[in-house]
Amino acid sequence: MENVGILGFGKYVPERVMTNADWEKLVDTSDEWITTRTGIKERRYAVDGQGTSDLAAEAAKKALADAGLNPEDIELIILATCTPDYRVQNCSSLVQKKIGAVNAACFDIQAACSGFIYSLTVGRSLIQTGMYKKILVIGAESVSRLLDMTDRNTAILFGDGACAAVMGEVEEGYGIISSYMGTEGVDDGTLRIKAGGTMYPATVERVLNKEIYLEMNGTDVFKFAVKALPFATKEAAKKGNVDLSTIDILFPHQANLRIIEAAAKRLRIPMEKVYLNIHKYGNTSAASIGLAIGDALEEGRLKKGDLIALTGFGAGLTYGSLIMRWSK
């Protein structure tokens, strides 16, 4: 079995900053409420004319440069997103065109905020089977485009961004050690966009009823998350025979600071070992864990040899965790 890890990494956030003060002007909310209930101070929104594929392409170009590879070297692009540019066609093929990865096959993974973990897991398997040698895995979202900007319960949480990882063989002792993926299927509006798919095609009435926007039962998602994150992390640790007390940095999905704190407590991982950047970007769904990795790299906090755990949850309801020894 090859040691599969990350050869190059990149991240991108759009320029437009949306602060809590900006939200105060739109809905009945306050910086104090948002900060204490979520930990979020600001988020980034894609600017006019920017689609998810544009954010993804920017992150991808940085990851390729970091890996010292050309776009033509990539054999497969896996893009995790629940906010693709178009309902049909895959968003990864748009990225292929934008970066010139002419030799790559492309598909998207829709596992919402768990998507980056799912995609790294699939990428690792496809390299281990010998099918591909260089895979580009991306997590990218423009959630801001699908928010009801009058709904203070949901809209204040989310932001846009992208992360990208070039995957390939790494030296012995490094790379992905184990991963775990789980799903607790629901069909009740816990977290979804109801209209615009095949069950409830978009009609003028559904658009006017705002059914084309993200709906969420925050309390139910919260309860699910505080159980799912520690469960997935423990399962991944068990599969990899990893003692969680040896983890150097935990990279949780940045959805809510209180969820992260509860999960860390259940895992007995001190908060000093938990990477946080939720205050800067809010919840960026499939991009969130990768944006955290990207920031940790830029700060020099994540270094070669560090043992890290990624853990996330999202619509579906999906959840998962992945453990690796950083190889760059």
Binding test (CB under 6 A) with ligand UT7, winner from 255, 287, 293, 324: 255
Binding test (CB under 6 A) with ligand UT7, winner from 17, 31, 33, 148: 33
With contacts defined by CB under 6 A, name the span among 8-16, 33-41, 77-85, 205-213 that binds ligand UT7. Answer: 33-41
Nearer to ligand UT7, 37 or 41 (CB): 37
Least spacing, CB of residue 70 vs ligand UT7, in Å: 34
Cα–Cα distance measured from residue 70 to residue 72, given in angstroms and rounded to the nearest whole number? 5
Amino acid identity, residue 85?
Answer: D
Q: Give the active site residue among 113, 163, 256, 277.
A: 113
# residues near ligand UT7 by CB under 6 A: 19
Told to check if 279 binds ligand UT7 by CB under 6 A, we report no
Nearer to ligand UT7, 26 or 131 (CB): 26
253 is catalytic: yes
For 219, phi and psi rounded to 5 degrees?
A: -65, -45
Closest CA to 143 of 259, 292, 294, 286: 286
C-alpha 126: how far from chain center:
20
With contacts defined by CB under 6 A, name the span among 84-92, 132-140, 152-160, 180-188 that binds ligand UT7. Answer: 152-160
Binding test (CB under 6 A) with ligand UT7, winner from 19, 29, 128, 183: 29
Closest CA to 248 of 293, 313, 278: 293
Closest CA to 191 of 56, 315, 18: 315
Told to check if 289 binds ligand UT7 by CB under 6 A, we report no
Told to check if 36 binds ligand UT7 by CB under 6 A, we report no
Q: Which residue has the tokens 């990225």?
A: 95
Cα–Cα distance measured from residue 287 to residue 113, given in angstroms and rounded to the nearest whole number? 8
Least spacing, CB of residue 259 vs ligand UT7, in Å: 6
Q: Give the active site residue among 82, 253, 256, 277.
A: 253
- Strands (E) located in the chain: 4-12, 16-19, 42-45, 76-80, 105-109, 135-142, 160-169, 175-183, 191-193, 214-216, 249-252, 307-314, 318-325
Told to check if 132 binds ligand UT7 by CB under 6 A, we report no
CB atoms inside a 10 Å sphere around CB 168? 25
C-alpha 270: how far from chain center:
23
279 is catalytic: no
Chain positions 60 to 99 lying near ligand UT7, rule: CB under 6 A, are none
Catalytic residues: 113, 253, 283
Site residues (CB under 6 A) for ligand UT7? Answer: 29, 33-34, 37-38, 113, 152-153, 156, 216, 218-219, 221-222, 225, 255-256, 283, 314
